[in-house]
Amino acid sequence: MGWRLAVCVFLMFWILHAIFLNEGRQAWEREGQSWKELSPVRQWQAAWSAGPPELWRTLRLVDGTAMLLSLVFMGLTLVLGVIRWRLVLRVLGLDLSLGRAAEISFVAHFFNSFLLGATGGDLLKAYYAARETHHKKTEAVVTVVVDRLLGLFAMLVFGCLMMLPNLSLLHAHPRLAALAGFILLMTAGCGLAIVLFFWGGVSRFWPRSRAWFRKLPKGELLEQCVDACREFGRAGAFLWKAMGISMLLNLVCVLQFLVLANGLKLNLSPLALFVIVPMIICVSALPVTPSGLGVRENLYVLMLTAPEINVAATQALSLSLLAYAGSLFWSLIGGVVYASLKERRHLTEVTEPDAAGAS
């Protein structure tokens, strides 16, 4: 308990310090002074003297009801993510209680707040999933990868679909068009990965590929992962169910930004948010900075300040930070769960109907 609490305190300090440095730099530069000329010690002092008041001022800009709804929508995305992961687990004959799956998912969300990209916590999720079982450790880890891959693909598809009613907006500004082009490439790559993982096809053109695969380091383990992925391709309606849950999750993600934009009284088209939010979420998921911090904020400022949308840079930054504050709130909950996480409870195999009948 002691070392878990220490880790939580250290990591939350790290997260807040990164935010305060950004706020302190902006406050310093507004006074016409050069941030780069300050020593690291002076930057720390400026960050922790100007950062907390600046962050509080930003958070107070939004209507309280809108902020509360934002927290509810953010929490709902986590619940939908838990439901989808349990669906993935069952395909490989694993069952995890809703409560235990929620515990692990909240811990993963906590670690997402400081690991690279918006998916870094999946490493911890995979670790805990593997600890839950003695009989299917590899399969348990594969479920985390598949769950994230399907979630990313669904968000990419959602963004691509929302490009259609926003074609005139995307065509009008090079920034938005460039981001849309990158999202189309990501969608094609992610879709190809799903096809290869779930249904294969390489061995059809290269019959000896499996033999070569086994010669790789940890080849048997890799082959076991591939075989586990093939189960999802044979799972019938699984993909449609997972995509349906993911699409609902994506809708809730955009609704979080919509209520915050209304709470900030931004003159912002909801239709534009339906294409901008999923595109930025997908890009910020790439492992560039901890929790995508900085990448996400810059993208919102860059996209929302386009003349066709015409949102002020400070308002665009406030929208991003407030949405991140909602995520950070649930990360704090995840930190509490992590600090009090009990010993593992083993996964149980899902009893197949034919096996049950035979017994």
DSSP string, 28-42: HHHTT--STTS-HHH
Domain positions in the chain: 1-60, 64-348
pLDDT in tens, 283-294: 887 766 665 666
Quote the distance between the C-alpha of residue 154 and its chain's center. 12
pLDDT in tens, 70-116: 999 999 999 999 999 999 999 988 888 888 889 889 888 888 776 65
The top-scoring range by mean pLDDT among 131-140, 224-233, 272-281, 323-332 is 272-281
Query: How far apart, in whole angstroms, are the C-alpha atoms of residue 120 and residue 110?
Result: 10
Measured distance between the N- and C-terminal CA atoms of the chain, rounded to whole angstroms: 44
Query: How far apart, in whole angstroms, are the C-alpha atoms of residue 34 and residue 186?
Result: 38
Give the pLDDT of residue 31: 77
Predicted TM-score (pTM) of the model is 0.78
